Structure 1
Amino acid sequence: MLIEPDELVRRRDCEDAVVLDCAWFAPEAGRRGIDAFRDGHVPGARHFDLEAASDPASPYPNMMPTPEHFAATLGALGIGNATPVVIYDASYVSARVWWMFRRFGHEKVAILDGGLRRWQAEGRPVETGDPAPIPPQMFAPQPQPADLAAWQDVLAALETGSAQVVDARTPDRFSGALPSGYPGLASGHMPGAINLPWTSMIDPERGFVFRPQQEAEQAFREAGIDLDRPIVTTCGSGVTAAVLALQLERMGKTDWRIYDGSWNEWGRRTDLPRQSLGSD
């Protein structure tokens, strides 16, 4: 699931693995992923555009696409069902892309632990400029629906306690002390949700590498989360929620789901409960 830089090189050079740069920025950053790709990427990498790969018909950002849409995205990137893939970025997006691959039945996917930050910190070479032309491939999706939650599932979990809802946003976003980060979207959180910031899963001392399993488990438990019960992760738009899900998967936990709509959907609906600093 997570690999070291030397292993990326081996898979790229010896197994013809496709390396995907998944650079993406939240709207408030005012920057596009392709711009970061042009500024510097792992040699031979192709650019995975999260926004273009997401559902174009959804009113919410970064939503899981249809199987046909994702198949077209992978095919255009030269990825077939048997193609080994290594994904990376410079922040927290790789986990979301890993989940997208997993959901549509592509299991031969690894994440470069530490991403581009680690790659560059180790003095490894980078390329600049636009992606090279790519011969298309055929990808036949095999949807795996079990790990995706809808708002109805989240509401039921909050009302019945059938699952723990864990919000990966930063404490200030969760509480409503800071704006949501998306135009027109109210701040706050779902009443009854537990806040476990995605940053607690990353080791800042080593440059965005994932914390070891034991440390991740400790972070979940210290937040009051029972790892013997089902978990639904959520965030702003289903991106950092995948960081928590990835760590749960590494722990061997299988009863997790990601709320794809996350706060972007929940916070815009008038029929769902919300809580913020002003309502606590």
Structure 2
Amino acid sequence: MLIDDPQTLVSTDWLAAHLHDPDLRILDASWYMPDSDRNARAEYDAAHIPGARFFDIDEISDQRSELPHMAPPVEKFMSRMRAMGVGDGHQVVIYDGAGMFSAPRVWWTFRLMGKTDVAVLDGGFPKWQAEGRPVEDMPPMVKDRHMTVRRQASLIKDVTQVAAASKLGDYEIIDARPAERFRGEVEEPRPGLRSGHIPNSKNVPFSSLLNADGTMKTVTDLKSLFSGAGVDISKPAITTCGSGVTAAMLSLALERMGQPNHAVYDGSWAEWGMFSDLKVAKG
């Protein structure tokens, strides 16, 4: 059974019990792959957990970059959160419509901005709905709230830092993509990218972190999963994936396992797979 932790993961029971707390803020952070034929905003408009605001991962990003949904500049994050009525002193709970897929990315974004009273809803919106809990289709009334941000540079890595880690082996580089993509056996869904993985990285597919109902596996099972993939969780880690979304699921799992020294490679394979001067491993 999940032990609720308002800084990492909370259950639907916990959220239901705290739903009307005045300082609770709920965010729908649903995001889907372009080929999924799902529209996150339209689904939010049709039904969401009462009081939830919609966090647009593509819009609340650094749109000066050619790479997809890179971490937003501090000023943009602060202004968007203020407009959504999310600020200092709030407990934030984030969910998504896939169960657990994109919500950890927004959990990590808050962490990057120095906010720690932030949790992902275990099992997400599908579990909430399956249990017959309340939903609504109206956006909440929002009042501006001031937010203080202290960006935590240690939680994010760029391509130069990842290339150095790949050579030196001083970090565990952990890739959340499906095994066949990691091994380079299939083409990448984004056109123009090479197949394979960062040399000396390990593979823990994001789907392997989850139970059949979309909840995250226990800490004991997670440790055994990472260990089975050859990951030494006592070492600092860099998490990566296709475009920096599911990498954050690995970061959340590491935090749950008591390893706080982790960072997301924000460019992930969308960046690494694009440049021919960066080495690629297969198999």
TM-score, normalized by length of structure 1? Answer: 0.92
Alignment of 1:96-115 (within 5 A): 96-115=105-124
Corresponding residue for 1:119?
128
Corresponding residue for 1:72?
79
For 1:34-86, what per-residue CA distance to the aligned partner results, in whole angstroms no more than 9, with x for missing partners?
02212321122111111111111111112111100111121111111212211
1:95 is displaced (CA, Å) by: 0.8
| Among candidates 183, 186, 190, match of residue 175 of structure 1 | 183
| Structure 1, 22-31 or 231-240: larger mean CA deviation | 22-31
Alignment of 1:71-220 (within 5 A): 71-91=78-98, 92-128=101-137, 131-204=139-212, 207-220=213-226
CA distance in 2, matches of 1:115, 1:260: 23
CA distance in 2, matches of 1:76, 1:11: 23
1:108 is displaced (CA, Å) by: 1.5
Corresponding residue for 2:261?
255
Structure with bigger helix share is 1
1:253 is displaced (CA, Å) by: 0.7
| Structure 1, 175-184 or 251-260: larger mean CA deviation | 175-184
CA distance in 1, matches of 2:69, 2:182: 19
For 1:128-159, what per-residue CA distance to the aligned partner results, in whole angstroms no more than 9, with x for missing partners?
3x534522222221111112111112111111
**Secondary structure of the equivalent of 1:140?**
coil
How many residues of Structure 1 are paired with residues of Structure 2 in the alignment? Answer: 274
Corresponding residue for 1:28?
35
1:86–1:112 CA contact under 8 A, matched in 2? yes
TM-score, normalized by length of structure 2? Answer: 0.91
Identity of aligned residues (%): 39
CA distance in 1, matches of 2:14, 2:167: 45
Corresponding residue for 1:227?
233
CA distance in 1, matches of 2:80, 2:35: 25
**Secondary structure of the equivalent of 1:244?**
helix
Q: Which runs of 5+ in 1 are unaligned?
A: none
**Secondary structure of the equivalent of 1:99?**
helix
CA distance in 2, matches of 1:6, 1:164: 35
CA distance in 1, matches of 2:160, 2:134: 47
| Among candidates 8, 16, 29, match of residue 23 of structure 2 | 16
CA distance in 2, matches of 1:60, 1:52: 13
**Secondary structure of the equivalent of 2:66?**
coil
Letter in 2 for 1:155: A
1:122 is displaced (CA, Å) by: 0.8
CA distance in 1, matches of 2:190, 2:141: 34
For 1:91-132, what per-residue CA distance to the aligned partner results, in whole angstroms no more than 9, with x for missing partners?
31111100100110122212211111110111112223x534
Residue 57 (1) aligns with residue 64 (2): yes
Name segments (4+ residues, structure 1) moved above 3 Å: none
CA distance in 2, matches of 1:230, 1:140: 27
1:27–1:181 CA contact under 8 A, matched in 2? no
Corresponding residue for 2:3?
none
| Structure 1, 22-31 or 7-16: larger mean CA deviation | 7-16
CA distance in 2, matches of 1:182, 1:134: 37
Alignment of 1:260-279 (within 5 A): 260-276=266-282
CA distance in 2, matches of 1:257, 1:111: 18
1:27–1:182 CA contact under 8 A, matched in 2? no
**Secondary structure of the equivalent of 1:102?**
helix
2:88–2:145 CA contact under 8 A, matched in 1? no
